[in-house]
């Protein structure tokens, strides 16, 4: 599985990903097996995470997906080569990212979160 380490020493895992992420956003990535002691330690800490930490982790996971989706659409826009559909989708993805960054403002946060729906 793909992970982000705390620093270049690769001693502590910060996050787990299903696919490699953009290194400019998520530095210090690596791959570990599910029996790696560092991963087992990460799981132990994750299970004890606070609701705020769990919510922030999910928000960050969703933001990383959104960043991957926005990048080529923004490139097309920046280069003057976006189609009408791409321009519309770019705006929707940007609105989605704004909504993700505002989940902390919800009345029930962090125990009750209405996550924004990913654009399609």
pLDDT tens column, 38-48: 999 988 877 76
Q: Give the domain ranges of the chain.
A: 2-47, 51-105
Interval 77-102 mean pLDDT: 98
Instruction: Kindly tell me if the per-residue pLDDT of 49 is higher than 80.
Output: no
pTM (predicted TM-score): 0.62
Interval 27-34 mean pLDDT: 93
Instruction: Kindly tell me if the per-residue pLDDT of 54 is higher than 90.
Output: no
Interval 98-108 mean pLDDT: 96
Confidence at residue 84, expressed as pLDDT on a 0 to 100 scale: 98
Instruction: Kindly tell me if the per-residue pLDDT of 71 is higher than 90.
Output: yes
Instruction: Give the whole-number percent of the chain exceeding pLDDT 70.
Output: 98
Torsion of CA 52, 10, 2, 17, to 10 degrees: 10
Name the nearest CA neighbour of 71 among 58, 56, 82: 82
Contact in structure between 70 and 94 (CB atoms under 8 Å):
yes
Confidence at residue 13, expressed as pLDDT on a 0 to 100 scale: 93
């Amino acid at each position: 599985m793909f992970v982000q380490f705390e620093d270049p020493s690769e001693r502590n895992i910060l996050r787990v990903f299903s696919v490699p992420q953009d290194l400019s956003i998520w530095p210090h990535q690596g791959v570990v097996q599910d029996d790696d002691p560092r991963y087992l330690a990460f799981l132990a800490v994750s299970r004890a995470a606070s609701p705020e930490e769990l919510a922030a982790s999910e928000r960050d996971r969703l933001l990383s997906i959104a960043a991957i989706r926005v990048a080529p659409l923004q490139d097309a826009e920046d280069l003057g080569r976006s189609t009408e559909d791409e321009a519309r989708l770019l705006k929707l993805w940007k609105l989605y990212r704004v909504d993700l960054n505002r989940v902390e403002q919800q009345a029930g946060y962090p125990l009750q979160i209405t996550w924004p729906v990913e654009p399609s």
